[in-house]
Structure 1
Amino acid sequence: MEYSGRRRKHRDPWRLICRSTVSFVCVCLAQFALFLLSSFFNSSNIITLLFLSVIVLLGLTVIGRRCKRLFGLRGSAPAFVFTNIVFMWCVYLVAIRQAISFPLDILFHAELIILLIGLYRIISGDPGFVDYAPISNTETFLEGSELPISNIYEGSPSVESSLLLQRVRYCKYCHAHVKGFDHHCPAFGNCIGQNNHFLFMILLAGFIIAESCYILSASQITTASRTLDSDGQKVVWTVALATSTMVFSILQVLWQAAFLAWHIYCVCFNIRTDEWMHWKKYPEFQHITHSQLGETGTTRYRNPYDKGIWQNLKEFIEAKG
């Protein structure tokens, strides 16, 4: 079977609907569990809520994997992300918006709209697919390179070939070669490559900013609820909902900030995630040291693409596609 790197395989719409439904149910269960947790515990103890929320979410993850093995239920990660955005938006409109200033409300809505547009672009866009054919048929040459793609994965001794310098890598999930391949992102259902790496970084920063605004908005509701609770009045369910979604957003921001910091590091030193994790399978990253007697020594990591932080940043911005 031959694949085209510039086209994706046809997806069954019914299968996509089923997976999206599974993701929708998973989001509802997770958010409902966090809502119950926030209803039973004092919202002023945010550290306790964060700790318990992590345990609950990990437990739901284990249960979800068991269901996947037993019943073959599979969700769609992009649908999971989209459903979470819509859910948080609905909670904001119902429980939080009335207590927020007009400028912050406009800013939050603008951020969500930009995020949705960016999600559509990165999910449906071309990350840098390169056409190829299987080794058994024909060997495809790229941009005047003297080496076929298959030679990359057959241990070609020509490490400094123009093809290797193009950093064309293979994605086992998309069954395609991608130029500037960083990793396959399950959340977006697409590879992150040369054409969408810049958009990926912008989206990641956008999620952090939007969730931070949501945390700031929800904290105003939870702060007011502490005053009501201290006066002996009953706290309404919308406060518990705002608290649970705020805790969820805090957890999201924590791992997303670490993830963004990692990608900033990679951009500054011109290294891809896939290359850093699997550098031993790419010859240009292998530096073999020799002993004084001329015997082959150990193989060490080296990055031949690192040209200094400023030059690396310049090349990254210019190659955004």
Structure 2
Amino acid sequence: MSSVLSVPSGHLPLQDLRKQEETGELIQPVLFVLLVLVSVLLYFAISLMDPGFVLSDCSDLQFTLGVTEETQDMIPPTTKSLRQRRCGHCLLQQPMRSKHCQTCHHCVRRYDHHCPWIENCVGERNHRWFVLYLAVQLLVLLWGLHVAWSGFTTAPTWQLWLRRNGVLLGAAAVVAVLSLTVLLLLGSHLYLVSLNTTTWEFMSRHRISYLKHCGADENPFDRGALRNLWGFFCGWGSVVWEQVYFREGSDPI
């Protein structure tokens, strides 16, 4: 207790990282700084990345998407029974699972949502990086919460304790709220990814033409949790969702 009370008033207590830095143990401080830098780089990457804007009609995108004539022939002719939707804003033919974003003024392939935090849409090309960013950000916040917790000191009275730890307590409260928010976001995205559905499809399936006729528990794009997660994180090619949607008992890809 005497060592704790000897901390000079008006100075923040030594947290774990500062203690390790002063004793020459730099592994954890360096790792923490690198993790923060990775988080910042991911933020700017997904903010500036093309989320999958539809820039021309579907028929003009076959080369860009790697869709050959042979692949097109694999799509059953029953696709004609579903009316191809043309966007009322940009007047382009929308691929399945795409949606027009009023903020970005573009249709986005496999649209998930528009994120005001990154000022960009989350779609086919940057969704996995968005999830990775949330995971890294959660690690940074939890580590920061641990660092703040390690800095609290004891005191004989509540008034003196608040005087010594008030700033640190406020910072820890903010970090805790942010950690909970990011945890909920990451958990919800991983859950939806495991089902191979998007936030937009999950929230508005009753208004989406290719889903509103499906049952509440029916998802035409679901290939099982493991395959959904593997395809999301490890699959780099664009998927012809019409082919997956109209598969008839065969392998979807």
* TM tier, smaller: 0.5 to 0.7
1:208 to 126, 138, 153: 138
In the TM superposition, 1:166-185 aligns within 5 A as 167-185=97-115
Give 1:194 shift: 1.0
After superposition, the Cα gap between the structure-2 partners of 1:117 and 1:270, relative to the gap in structure 1 and judged at 3 Å, is same
Query: 29, 35, 41: which is aligned to 1:117?
Result: 41
Aligned to 1:302: 218
Distance in 1 between the 2:13 and 2:86 partners? 55
Whether 1:151 and 2:67 are equivalent positions in the alignment is no
Distance, in Å, in 1 between the alignment partners of 2:163 and 2:117 is 31
Partners of 2:235 and 2:124 lie apart in 1 by 6
Q: How many residues align?
A: 200
- State the distance in 1 between where 2:181 and 2:99 align: 27
Query: Could you tell me how far apart the structure 2 residues matched to 1:180 and 1:94 are?
Result: 49
State the 1:232 CA deviation. 9.4
Greater displacement, 100-109 / 205-214:
100-109
Query: With structure 1 as the length reference, what TM-score do the two structures score?
Result: 0.54
Structure 2 stretches lacking a partner, 5+ long: 1-11, 63-71, 73-78, 238-253
**8 A Cα contact 1:184 1:191, kept in partner:** yes
Quote the residue 2:119 is aligned against. Answer: 189
Cα distance in 2, alignment partners of residues 249 and 171 from structure 1: 31
The equivalent of 2:186 in structure 1 is 260
**RMSD in angstroms over aligned alpha carbons?**
3.3
Amino acid of the residue matched to residue 306 of structure 1? Answer: D
Displacement of 1:210: 0.5
Q: 1:244 to 1:99 in 2, by over 3 A?
A: farther
Q: How does 1:1-321 map to 2 (within 5 A)?
A: 96=15, 97-100=17-20, 102-132=26-56, 141-144=59-62, 151-152=85-86, 163-164=95-96, 167-222=97-152, 225-226=153-154, 229-230=155-156, 234=160, 239-287=165-213, 300=216, 302-319=218-235
Change (3 A) 1:252 1:320: farther
Alpha carbons of 1:188 and 1:204: their partners in 2 closer, same or farther (altered >3 Å)?
A: same
**AA aligned opposite 2:61:** E
Question: For residues 272 and 142 of structure 1, do their structure 2 counterparts lie closer, same or farther at Cα, with a shift above 3 Å needed?
Answer: farther
Moved more, 209-218 or 237-246: 237-246
- The one-letter code matched in structure 2 to 1:188 is I
Whole-angstrom CA distance in 1 between matches of 2:184 and 2:174: 16
If the length of structure 2 is used for normalisation, what is the TM-score?
A: 0.68
Letter in 2 for 1:114: V
Q: Call closer, same or farther: CA 1:233–1:309 in 2, change over 3 Å.
A: closer
Q: Once the 2 structures are TM-superposed, how far is the Cα of residue 143 of structure 1 from its aligned partner?
A: 2.9
Residue 151 of structure 1: SS of its match in structure 2? coil
1:140: how far off? 6.5
In terms of fraction of residues, the more helix-rich structure is 1
Tell me the CA shift for residue 152 of structure 1.
4.8
1:210-232 per-position Cα deviation (integer Å, ceiling 9, x unaligned): 0111111111111xx21xx1289
Counterparts in 2 of 1:240 and 1:318: CA distance versus 1, 3 Å:
same
CA distance in 2, matches of 1:231, 1:238: 11
